[in-house]
Amino acid sequence: MQIKILAFDVFGTVVDWHSSIAREIDRMQLGVDGNEFALAWRAGYQPAMKRVMSGELGWTLIDDLHRMVLDELLAKYAISSLDESQKRHLNKVWHRLDAWPDSVEGLTRLKSRFTICTLSNGNIGLLTNMAKNAGLPWDCILSAEVFGKYKPDPATYLGVAKIFDVAPEEVMLVAAHQDDLAGARAAGLKTAYIERPYELGATQKKDVSPNQENTFHASSIVDLAATLGC
């Protein structure tokens, strides 16, 4: 295999969004369960994104989509105690997500042999702040914002190959989500699945069974690094 570029999905694959957000909500004592709020916030992401993909909304950064969903949830849970600055700070909790325990070591090892970059629907500012906060050693931050398309549009996956001037099969998408990996394979990329059974929290364990269509299946990013000889 002549893999040159490892492009990573970020939310859930590299960072633990659920625990980070649930902890923040519980700390704020808003009268709502942090686990429930985190799941509801994340659940609103796909419908909001589809409004952009359908043309109902113009191009919208994930930061702004997150804020739209947050405002809806604050109304749903009748939370009226936050002023505008507090809402803005809470919305940027997505910039402050903790990395999974294996992420920094695994990425550092992979970086010794491959070019590693993000390929996330998160906007560039968000991903940059997240990397700074969590110590993520990316060579390059790529976002749907660069391509004006959200995953799983083929333009996002093929855009990585174009930016680095390599063939699609020389790029591997690494993700904890089979639908993302399926989109990458359809565009001609190689794929590696990372198990994140507790992405949705301890109460909603994910099925992380192997899918033979993926090039690799790893229990962690460190495990993937070992498999790839790093």
pLDDT digits (tens, 9 = 90+) for 25-52: 999 999 999 999 999 999 998 899 899 9
pLDDT digits (tens, 9 = 90+) for 45-96: 889 989 998 999 999 999 999 999 999 999 999 999 999 999 999 999 999 9
pLDDT digits (tens, 9 = 90+) for 141-190: 999 999 999 999 999 999 999 999 999 999 999 999 999 999 999 999 99
Contact 75, 67 (CB under 8 A): no
Q: Where are the domains of the chain?
A: 5-16+98-227, 17-95
pLDDT-based confidence at residue 4 (cuts at 50, 70, 90): very high
Residue the block writes with tokens 């923040």: 24
pLDDT digits (tens, 9 = 90+) for 184-214: 999 999 999 999 999 999 888 999 999 999 9
DSSP bridge partners of 15: 11, 99
The structural architecture, per CATH, of the domain 17-95 is Orthogonal Bundle (1.10)
Output the pLDDT for position 1: 65
Q: In the structure encoding, which two tokens stand for residue 123, read together? A: 């906007």
Distance (Å, whole) CA 191 – CA 171:
8
Distance (Å, whole) CA 221 – CA 101:
10
Output the pLDDT for position 112: 97
pLDDT above 70: percentage of residues in the chain: 100
Q: In the structure encoding, which two tokens stand for residue 210, read together? A: 């192997």
Q: Most distant CA pair in the chain: distance in Å?
A: 55
Question: Taking the model in full, what pTM does it have?
Answer: 0.95
Output the pLDDT for position 203: 87
Residue 154 makes CB contacts below 8 A (sequence gap 6+) with: 183, 186, 187
Output the pLDDT for position 37: 97
DSSP bridge partners of 117: 7, 140
What CATH code is assigned to 5-16+98-227? 3.40.50.1000
pLDDT digits (tens, 9 = 90+) for 110-120: 999 999 999 99
Q: Do domains 5-16+98-227 and 17-95 have the same CATH topology?
A: no
Output the pLDDT for position 167: 97
